[in-house]
Amino acid sequence: MADRPYTLLSCGMSIDGYLAGATEKRLLLSNDADLDRVDAVRAACDAILVGASTVRNDNPRLLVRAQARQDERVARGLRPSPMKVTVTGRAELDPCANFFATGDSEKLVYCVSARVAQARDRLGKVATVIDGGQPLHMQRMSEDLCARGVQRLMVEGGGMVHTQFLTAGLADELHLVVAPFFIGDSRARRFVSDGLFPWNPDRRATLAEVRRIDDVVLLRYALSARFRMD
């Protein structure tokens, strides 16, 4: 197998396992202390990946927030924030979205072959559009990111992307934050959808850490032999 980045999946979910509410309204699952923890994790990565639906629905900036962390990265010869990466089949992304419009880090869009021309027309001025194949597999994308110098990748959702990384056995570590409330609406997006996961009742994942962060809890799972506790 070709090299791939050390890959850390990060997400927050409700007690009943939802990533978001059923409406378009953005839902805050985290709290200030946990957002600061996530900021530190981001600052230690080379690239942050989210799916196109997350770019459209949440309009995230995906930047390192703390000035001290930005300064520390710059002192190491890096940009203040990691590279941003997204993946799309439809190529219907807004070049003015915060993903593209904020920060001076490199932005990559992996697109299925059939829509690469459309994606370059729309996003070519604000991002590097890469032909991700047809179908577009996370394994191939991971290997390409590795070839571009990404050694540590943070995947911040949503569920469709998490599902593919997990079922393809491409995740080394999972940070799962549980918020203290229920969504109670099955129209909402779950953390993962159906699939054959390498961890099941016969092969349990390793729970590496449990940390209370104010009113949420961080569950940290080691998912590969590459896992390292920092």
Ligand X SMILES: NC(=O)c1ccc[n+]([C@@H]2O[C@H](COP(=O)([O-])OP(=O)(O)OC[C@H]3O[C@@H](n4cnc5c(N)ncnc54)[C@H](OP(=O)(O)O)[C@@H]3O)[C@@H](O)[C@H]2O)c1
Binding site residues, ligand X, CB under 6 A = 11-13, 19-20, 29, 50-54, 57-58, 87-90, 92, 112, 136, 156-161, 164, 189
H-state helical runs in 49-178: 52-58, 67-75, 98-101, 116-123, 138-147, 159-167
In this structure, the strands spanning 173-178 and 216-222 are antiparallel
How are beta strands 83-88 and 47-51 bridged, if at all?
parallel
To ligand X, the closest distance from the beta carbon of 189 in angstroms equals: 5
28 vs 210, which CB is nearer to ligand X?
28
DSSP string, 138-152: HHHHHHHHHHTT--E
Q: With respect to ligand X, which residue has the nearer C-beta, 8 or 20?
A: 20
CA distances from 228 to 8, 69, 172, 221, 225 (A): 11, 21, 9, 11, 8
Query: Of 54 and 105, which CB lies nearer to ligand X in the complex structure?
Result: 54
Nearest approach, Cβ of residue 45 and ligand X (Å): 15
Please report how close the Cβ of residue 77 comes to ligand X at its closest, in angstroms: 30
40 vs 64: CA distance, rounded Å: 8
Quick one: which of 140, 116, 136 has its CA closest to 128?
116
Q: Assess contact for 210 and 217: CB atoms under 8 A.
A: yes
Largest CA distance in the chain: 49
For residue 99, the minimal CB distance to ligand X (Å) is 11
Task: State how beta strands 206-213 and 216-222 pair.
Answer: antiparallel
- Closer by beta carbon to ligand X, 72 or else 133: 133
Task: Select 20 or 218, whichever has its Cβ closest to ligand X.
Answer: 20
Q: Least CB distance from residue 115 to ligand X, whole Å?
A: 8
- Nearest distance from residue 212's CB to ligand X, in Å? 18
Q: Which is nearer to ligand X, 129 or 161 (CB)?
A: 161
Burial of 135 (0-12, 13-18, 19+ CB in 10 A): exposed
